[in-house]
Amino acid sequence: MGGLTTADTHSFRSGLCLPARLGSRTENHPVLQPKGRTSVATVPGQRARSTLPAADTPGVIHPAPDALSRAAAEAAWRSVTLSVAATPHVRVSRDGGRTFPARHARPLPDDPPGQPATVAVYDPGSAAGRMLALDLDPSRIRISAGVDDRAVQYGHGHRAGPAAEVAAQAASIAELVTRCGGQVLADASPSGGRHVFILFAAPLPWRELRDLARAIALRFPAVDPAPMSSMGAQISPPGSRHKSGGWRLLSTPLSEARAAVEHPNGPGVWSALLTEFAAELQVSAARSAAAPNQANAACLNAELDDTGVPWIPRLGGRAPLGAGLDQAARIGRWDRSRYPDRSAARMAILAAAAARGWQLADVRAAIGSGAWRGLARLYERSSEPRRLDRLLPYEWRKAIVFAGGEKNVPDWLTSVSTSRPPAPTSGADEFGLIRQWVTGTACAVADPERVRRWGRRAVAVRQLLAAIGQAAMVSGSTVSEFGTRNLALHSGLSQRTVSRLLAMLCAEPDPLLDVVTRGRMARADRIALRIPDAYAESVRWRRRRAGRIDGIHPVFLLLGGTAGLVHQVLDGTEARGAEVARAARLSPSATPAALRVLAEHGLAERGRGGWRRGDASLDEVATSTGAADLHRERAERYKRDRESWRARLRAYQGARQPPVSARDGWWSLDDGDEYDEMCRWPVLSDDFVRGPPAGEARESA
């Protein structure tokens, strides 16, 4: 969709917005009110409905409305508002747009109400929404000599005033969404404010929509994230009455607005927006954490893209390279006084790209399109035709380390060879599948039918799924072979509970886990992560988790799994108890009890606006409560159990020649075939072949 057009808006005089010149009677003979009645000021010829200013900009006189504005508002309301409202209700203001109480809610009418009105942004029942409602407010523009300093920081340029800056930022947002493959619809108010709506074809969790709105507000300072910041958020839709007396009219052509409603954006647009604002999402998350003083732009961390390759997000999005390095990347000629050889020139180009928010996929695309054919030439060597494919991933990682100043940049595998460039691997695909599976577990938790089958074991199942996700990240594979004792240590459950829950999860219909091979001797079950067919479409929409995937902290061995799930959803933003319960997918009765437990140990605090995460450290609480000692004792006991089992297996293997009797403390084997098979299978060697040996091997033995 192209840029936004300016709406021709009209409004009528109301409240205390007076004409520039009044008659002599008004100036010389004001009407006095009786003593004690000062709530409403009366002026001849005017009807004041509120003591507040009736327009957004005091002193601005708006012209009278005409029939054209009313018709345009009705067309916008019927074409857009009836479709974008999250619930079929509207809140009408009875005080000229000052408040919109819930008691004034009524069914969504076919025509716009005569008073200012708002619609819901989220559906409280599903805790989800289908749109990003961005409110661009002129009052948020900080003008100093005609320039907004934050706008200049992010390259929005010099504007004549707040209204012009708001219009420019709205156009920039629309252009950005278009680059991401999507479309928007927008409206404008008589006061110069604007709304930009980004509609999606599927409902998204409200917290993820909130986080993205906050990230957008960091780049575009005119955006007020308040309409997206709470479950009960409201926003004035297109075609609604403005508090100045005018109407909110579409600034997008009506045909394009209808197309945006009829064909909302798909999952590709959502994913592209998350990538575009990755740096802002990091900063926003840091500011919402328990230690907001540590949140700043300098603490950006390397992230992993959808293929598991590290990259460094940049505030403001990806930026082009400098003139010198851009020329080197295009034609292959570089300044030899600064970069003595080809290798140094290549690393300078890659490091500059990494520092400017590029991803390895962007570099590959530039090389593939021919735009960076010079960089491709720097890799050429007649004796090695595929040198670019071999060296580029390795040198990209070195560039990330140099640009980000990090020594431990996350990778798609648990370790990286530094002696030679890595060989081609499918670990990147595995990494993406692991994150998709973690997203699928969130969909399963939100499925009432599946949770009903879990019953009282639902909390324990969620603890176990978190531990399995962590185990998959450690192994770098969607097929893991971790024993029940290992999973128990990272889930806050006992080994027996883990065994029972694994059997239940693998046996349920459309399961999350699938058994590849059963455990035998010293080998545990090999379990593959599986995305249920029922959630395949939802997983494409949901945001993949960035950063580490952790299990359940040992402190919740004593505080309880419910407290652990509640602690996961708390952050530095205050939220009411009902919102915390919906976010944690727990019952309204279990959540308050968990919050009280967390508050007793400083892991949660209650403010005026609700609950937030406390400043206490999980490790310190685990030490003070004795949970750390309990976890250590379990780990030592499980280690002794494993050593005892392996010793028994060694005894079985060595028992082929000497006779076995009950006096030796071992049970004899009645089945000779099973005895031979067990003794010949090297269960404790480094051979990873599963099952008994082949027929030829058995005959040769």
Q: Name the one residue in this structure whose structure tokens are 């010099």.
A: 158
Asked, for residue 284, whether it belongs to a domain, the answer is: no
Contact 193, 11 (CB under 8 A): no
In this structure, the answer to whether residues 387 and 329 fall within a common structural domain is yes
Determine the pLDDT at residue 117: 92
pTM check: above 0.75: no
Asked, for residue 240, whether it belongs to a domain, the answer is: yes
Cβ neighbours, 10 Å, residue 458: 18
370, 405, 440 — which closes off a domain? 405
In this structure, the answer to whether residues 87 and 209 fall within a common structural domain is yes
Asked, for residue 3, whether it belongs to a domain, the answer is: no
Contact 483, 524 (CB under 8 A): yes
Determine the pLDDT at residue 462: 94
Spans of the chain, pLDDT less than 50: 1-65, 143-149, 151-152, 158, 290-299, 407-428, 662-701
Determine the pLDDT at residue 11: 37
Determine the pLDDT at residue 687: 36
Cβ neighbours, 10 Å, residue 533: 8
Q: How far, in Å, CA of 56 to CA of 563, rounded?
A: 45
In this structure, the answer to whether residues 676 and 539 fall within a common structural domain is no
Q: Name the one residue in this structure whose structure tokens are 């957004």.
A: 56
Query: How would you label 656-679 residue by residue, b for 16+ Cβ within 10 Å and e otherwise?
Result: eeeebeeeeeeeeeeeeeebeebb
In this structure, the answer to whether residues 337 and 308 fall within a common structural domain is yes
The length of the chain, given as a count of residues = 701
In this structure, the answer to whether residues 630 and 533 fall within a common structural domain is no
In this structure, the answer to whether residues 439 and 389 fall within a common structural domain is no
- Identity of the amino acid at 94: R
Asked, for residue 459, whether it belongs to a domain, the answer is: yes
Map residue 105 onto helix, strand or coil: strand
375, 405, 435 — which closes off a domain? 405
Contact 511, 504 (CB under 8 A): no
In this structure, the answer to whether residues 255 and 186 fall within a common structural domain is yes
Asked, for residue 11, whether it belongs to a domain, the answer is: no
In this structure, the answer to whether residues 546 and 577 fall within a common structural domain is no
Determine the pLDDT at residue 481: 78
Asked, for residue 163, whether it belongs to a domain, the answer is: yes
Pair type for strands 117-120 and 234-235:
antiparallel
- Identity of the amino acid at 514: D
621, 647, 673 — which closes off a domain? 647
Map residue 520 onto helix, strand or coil: coil
Contact 211, 281 (CB under 8 A): yes
In this structure, the answer to whether residues 510 and 563 fall within a common structural domain is no
Q: Please give the residue range of the domain that contains residue 449.
A: 426-552
Asked, for residue 17, whether it belongs to a domain, the answer is: no
CATH number reported for the structural domain that contains residue 610 in this entry: 1.10.10.10
Looking at the structure of the chain, the number of domains it has is 5
According to DSSP, residue 241 is labeled B
Determine the pLDDT at residue 300: 60
CA angle 220, 321, 336 (to 5 degrees): 160
In this structure, the answer to whether residues 476 and 367 fall within a common structural domain is no
Condensed to tens digits (0 to 9), the pLDDT of residues 604-620 reads: 999 888 999 998 999 99
Q: How far, in Å, CA of 423 to CA of 118, rounded?
A: 57
Q: Name the one residue in this structure whose structure tokens are 């005894």.
A: 651
Contact 607, 574 (CB under 8 A): yes
Asked, for residue 239, whether it belongs to a domain, the answer is: yes
Determine the pLDDT at residue 20: 37
Map residue 301 onto helix, strand or coil: coil
Query: How would you label 61-85 residue by residue, b for 16+ Cβ within 10 Å and e otherwise?
Result: ebeebeeebeebbebbbebbbbbbb
Q: Name the one residue in this structure whose structure tokens are 């029940």.
A: 484
In this structure, the answer to whether residues 107 and 255 fall within a common structural domain is yes
In this structure, the answer to whether residues 370 and 514 fall within a common structural domain is no
CA distances from 556 to 460, 501, 577 (A): 12, 18, 20
CA distances from 549 to 212, 469, 527 (A): 20, 7, 18
